[in-house]
Structure 1
């Protein structure tokens, strides 16, 4: 059975009755995004699913999704972050979506920039549409400021989708209240003082920024330096300039000042031994401030 659009389904018990959290308008999103000459080929909004990433990967594998397909869920029951960490939030309290990209003209060894590119697009779109200051924690977290503290309000996860395809998933806490936070160190756009928590323009803003950056990166053959992506990411990366502890597989750790993001999207740490060590997102179990 194919799920109907969330905006077309009947309310489902009390979790759908919060008037501060209206449903997304799937038809309006399609009209605003799916047009000839744009990246976005389809926009589907489902009321509830396990993971938009898993669903879109399956659609791509079955040949049921083209590049630019967007899948949005009003509620995720099995959302995932890096290393299969769980991501959950109340229904309609956030934006949980995945996109299918097929950058076949870009060398595969440059595809590692896609999560970082998406981070730049998400930060750009939210700054414009929500009026909040955002920052990026390498490699895949979106930060906002709540009460003077940096807090994680979102995350990004990229997964392979067969030959030539990547599904990039985004989860953003939009209207989460303090008593709904999964951990005290989490945040949301509402808690950060967003001028708007209307999810339709927020989603359109992020997707339009993603289309812009993806087009620039693809036109440059995936060269993050040539298209300005590397510089822009570094300018918005809260990790740079801080001393961090990179926890690696096998109970290994590397401590150093984060001094750069290199041309491959790796974080470069300057250690006390005077050596600059690059670490890739796939090598990191945790990245924390050094004590």
Structure 2
């Protein structure tokens, strides 16, 4: 028997968190005529989004490139917020998309589309009810309380690309959570926490939704995306405080997501104000 090297030993150091099977993922996802061209799994990196954006800008990554990390040391959320998770405790990956057929003004739907795809894939494969907090959070219920179990980060990659980054807490235990408001699929009672089928389900769902949206030239209504997002959005129907730059805030009921992907807030003064994801600092219950 050939002895395994030290890096292989570290990958198997926690038998409850086995490594992803990269060859099997490639066989399942990369196919002629499909979205995905390459699926690469690395043991550790700072940020899959940073790495994939750099490859796209250099012109060495095609649309459908997927980069997965077993551990991220400099993971970022929206507005450069930091978060960490133990190795192999979640799904941390980025996908390069180049929606040339879609007008750039509709690209703002990509984070919402990715949220729908992730929630749909996880509901099927993990058996967990998931909800979306506008604009980029995935929520699960733990002990009757809504908690954030994942997030989405979109970054432009040159003139023609967008890298969609996804982080999902899969097996984090209560004592491992970065903040008390966080959650994981395991804590939410998932029927499966096997990351290989979970990742396959999420990426297939993303391929499906991206194909529908692209075929409709990015029209969120014609593709069914706007209706599906609204149906799964936990933010709608709640009274929220949108904190904006310059210490400005809007308080009111979140009543809709408009055709541009903005959250529409109905204030007590009877005004409906749309708020874009790029304009908001925090969105909190009021």
TM-score by length of 1: 0.95
1:258 aligned onto 2:254? yes
The within-5 A match list for 1:139-158 is 139-158=135-154
The partner residue of 1:116 within 99, 105, 112 is 112
1:105 aligned onto 2:101? yes
Structure 1: gaps (5+ residues): 1-6
Equivalent position of 1:207 in the other structure? 203
Q: Report Cα offsets for 1:218-254 as digits up to 9, x if no partner.
A: 0000000111000000000000000000000011100
CA 114–155 in structure 1, closer or farther in 2 if over 3 Å, else same: same
The alignment partner of 1:10 has SS state of helix
Distance 1:32 1:181 in 2: 31
Distance 1:9 1:164 in 2: 37
Distance 2:112 2:7 in 1: 35
How many Å apart are 1:191 and its aligned residue?
0.1
1:74 aligned onto 2:70? yes
1:160 aligned onto 2:156? yes
The partner residue of 2:90 within 89, 94, 98 is 94
The partner residue of 2:56 within 56, 60, 63 is 60
Distance 2:224 2:121 in 1: 17
Would you say the 8 A contact 1:16–1:91 is kept in 2?
no
Equivalent position of 1:246 in the other structure? 242
TM-score by length of 2: 0.97
The alignment partner of 1:86 has SS state of coil
The alignment partner of 1:87 has SS state of coil
How many Å apart are 1:87 and its aligned residue?
1.7
1:45 aligned onto 2:41? yes
1:33 aligned onto 2:29? yes
Distance 1:71 1:22 in 2: 18
Would you say the 8 A contact 1:130–1:189 is kept in 2?
yes
Q: Report Cα offsets for 1:83-139 as digits up to 9, x if no partner.
A: 000021000000000000000110000000000000000000000000000000000
Distance 1:258 1:11 in 2: 50
Counting matched residue pairs gives: 282
The alignment partner of 2:246 has SS state of coil
How many Å apart are 1:11 and its aligned residue?
2.6
RMSD: 1.2
Structure 2: gaps (5+ residues): none
Task: Return structure 1 stretches of 4+ with deviation > 6 angstroms.
Answer: none
CA 65–8 in structure 1, closer or farther in 2 if over 3 Å, else same: farther
